[in-house]
Amino acid sequence: MATLRAFQSEIEDIQTKSAEQQRIAAAASAALADKKLKPKEPVDQAAKDTPMSPVTDNDDEEDLAQVQDLLLGDEASHRRVSDLIASIVTRKRGECLVHLGLHPPHQLLFGNSPLPTEPTDDAAAKEAEWRGSKLDAEQLKTAIATLTQIVDGLGATVTRLFEHPTRATCLVRIPPPTVELTPEVRCAVVGNVDSGKSTTLGVLTRGALDDGRGKARVGLFRHKHEIETGRTSSVGMEILGFGPSGLPILPAIAAAPDSEVVKRERLGWEDIAAQSSKIISFIDLAGHERYLKTTLYGLTSGAPSCVFLMVGANAAGLIGMSKEHLAISLALSVPVVICITKIDMTPTNVLNETIKHIVKVLKSPGCRKTPVFVQSVESAAELSQVFVGKRLCPIFQISNVTGQGLDHVRTFLNLLPSSENEKKFIKDQPLEYSVTEVWSVPYTGVVVNGIINSGTITAGDPVLIGPDSLGGWISTAVKSIHRKRAPVPSAEAGQSVSFALKKMKKGVVRKGMVVIAKTETPPKVTRRFEGQVLILYHNTTLQRNYQAMLHCGNIRQTVRLVDMDSEQGILRTGDRATVIFEFIQRPEFLKPGMKLLFREGSTKGLGVVTKLL
């Protein structure tokens, strides 16, 4: 029986190899199209055999470790600091964290007990694995003042994230010149019914606390039946912007004339985007079992950087769909963050029972996550940078009525790395844009929303959209591009944007289509494909001609299992096999290396596309 962890590692290897092959093929196609093929020239074998050494996160950490000593140096050292920070901020999309003073090791910072007294000498600090160099209060003040003066010359701002007499962590951030360059973090919000998903998003994005009866969530509902039942049934989108200083961009508060009533002015997405140095996009997903298909579509098509799992403190643990959402997130290898809500109204013994159950599940062999309770801004700042690589699961305890714990959540969100990962989304490849939403806008026409998987696009570019029901491609053009409802002249890989398409009918465009650069030979679409799969759960056996709902990126369609390499022709829970799938309704655009998830009732399977047939 194959383990999930080993299978996920194999999926990553397949995706890496497929991405490299696609990159080579794209480069060859571009060379032929541009007629830039030249006669072969002698190659310096020594230079060819010398691999390029890419800049890694460890290099950035080593550079940042030098900053503290250089800040206390002479004028030449200050120029060196300016060069280092300019280089790091450029690589990290406009921001970085600078640690000053002696910082505790992760095992102390992420523990549940108060931090011990700092070591008195360097030998003790080294033995305890404290990081940095010891500073007194005067040296720390001088270092922060010098850092502020240096980065002012770069057009950046310095924000001290937390207060301590002998250490500090500062956020250095350069405001983006335009909306199209603003970094974005995509977060999916899941959880059981009545766990506080929409209420938490309403409080975070609007700034006003809840009244305990759902006042904060009403503005997030999109349909009448959602307001009547209080249950989200669709994929909702909300954004939270952070300014250069790290403060959230929230509607202004105004008092009505001759009245004690306080109102919050409405702030549109375009206004938030114009003022923000970072945008957090929340994908608000349904919690009811009836809408699991919609929740799965949001998780697979939205390409979130992390999943926020909301758990009601009064639920006495992970109940209902919470376990289902956690299992799906782990299967898709998406990092998980847990928010325990309603702590203001929950008795202590029930809250302790909920925490105990969550910790037990996270430490179980199926999860193997280390729970970390976030109780300070310092730990929230550090966790945002390392929780993915160290398999940590941050746990926040919040109240949307009293506001307890919300500052830690905002700090964590403000410092999350951008979702526009250059390793996953490559700019120098041909355009590929996944359509996840379709609208018909008066006086504009068909507007599609989605994520650019590769390449770049400029308003006015001719494109192809497809495949249609027959597997064909339709020629059109991009009239305009909007990002967070703000017009932009262009967009690049990794960004979530909307296109207005020229001379298109809404009935022709659907979710699951892709937009590609216009070429004489569009890519082939497929109805049958081969994949490596692992059966996560099935109560009996899977046989040939079994049908299930397939989720693969923005594709959601019923497939049939045509064939499998199992000796007995059947698959059970935990079995691993090579399976041939066939789409029931229409052909789709697939690429080797795409991750897939199929389900039917309680049956679930995870896999990866290996070959197109």
Cα torsion 146, 151, 157, 158: sign: negative
Q: Which amino acid belongs to residue 148?
A: T
- Predicted confidence (pLDDT) at residue 256 exceeds the cutoff of 50: no
- Predicted confidence (pLDDT) at residue 577 exceeds the cutoff of 80: yes
DSSP-derived secondary structure for 540-581: S-EETT-EEEEEETTEEEEEEEEEE--TTSEE-TT-EEEEEE
Task: Determine the Cα–Cα distance for residues 549 and 527; give it in Å rounded to an integer.
Answer: 15
DSSP-derived secondary structure for 5-51: HHHHHHHHHHHHHHHHHHHHHHHHHHHHHTT---------HHHHHS-
Q: Which amino acid belongs to residue 218?
A: V
Give Cα separations from 23 to 18, 225, 419, 427 (angstroms): 9, 46, 21, 11
Pick the range with the lowest mean pLDDT from 26-40, 66-80, 308-322. 26-40
pLDDT the model gives residue 67: 83
Task: Determine the Cα–Cα distance for residues 210 and 208; give it in Å rounded to an integer.
Answer: 7
Residue pLDDT, tens place only, 397-419: 999 999 999 999 999 999 999 99
Pick the range with the lowest mean pLDDT from 319-328, 344-353, 459-468. 319-328
Of all residues in the chain, the percent with pLDDT exceeding 70 is 86
Ordered domains of the chain (ranges, CATH): 58-173 (no CATH), 179-415 (3.40.50.300), 432-517 (2.40.30.10), 528-612 (2.40.30.10)
Residue pLDDT, tens place only, 492-527: 999 999 999 998 988 899 999 999 999 988 999 999
Mean pLDDT of 318-347: 91
Pick the range with the lowest mean pLDDT from 103-107, 426-430, 432-436, 517-521. 103-107
Strand 462-466 vs strand 528-537: parallel, antiparallel, or unpaired? Answer: unpaired
| 22: confidence class by pLDDT, cuts 50, 70, 90 | confident
pLDDT the model gives residue 29: 66
CB-CB neighbours of 210 under 10 Å: 20
Q: What tokens appear for 51 in the block? A: 């691999």
Residue pLDDT, tens place only, 38-78: 544 444 444 444 444 454 556 667 777 788 788 888 888 88
Mean pLDDT of 532-554: 92
Global confidence as pTM:
0.89
Q: What is the mean pLDDT of the chain?
A: 85
Residue pLDDT, tens place only, 173-192: 999 999 999 999 999 999 98
Q: Where are the alpha helices (DSSP H) in 373-468?
A: 377-386, 406-415
pLDDT the model gives residue 69: 80
Pick the range with the lowest mean pLDDT from 16-30, 365-379, 567-581. 16-30
Note every long-range contact of 473-479, with CB atoms under 8 Å and residues 24 or more positions apart, other chains counting. Answer: 473/516, 473/522, 474/504, 474/508, 475/518, 476/501, 476/502, 476/503, 476/504, 477/501, 477/502, 478/502, 478/515, 479/444, 479/445
Q: What tokens appear for 562 in the block? A: 């045509």
Strand 306-312 vs strand 336-341: parallel, antiparallel, or unpaired? Answer: parallel
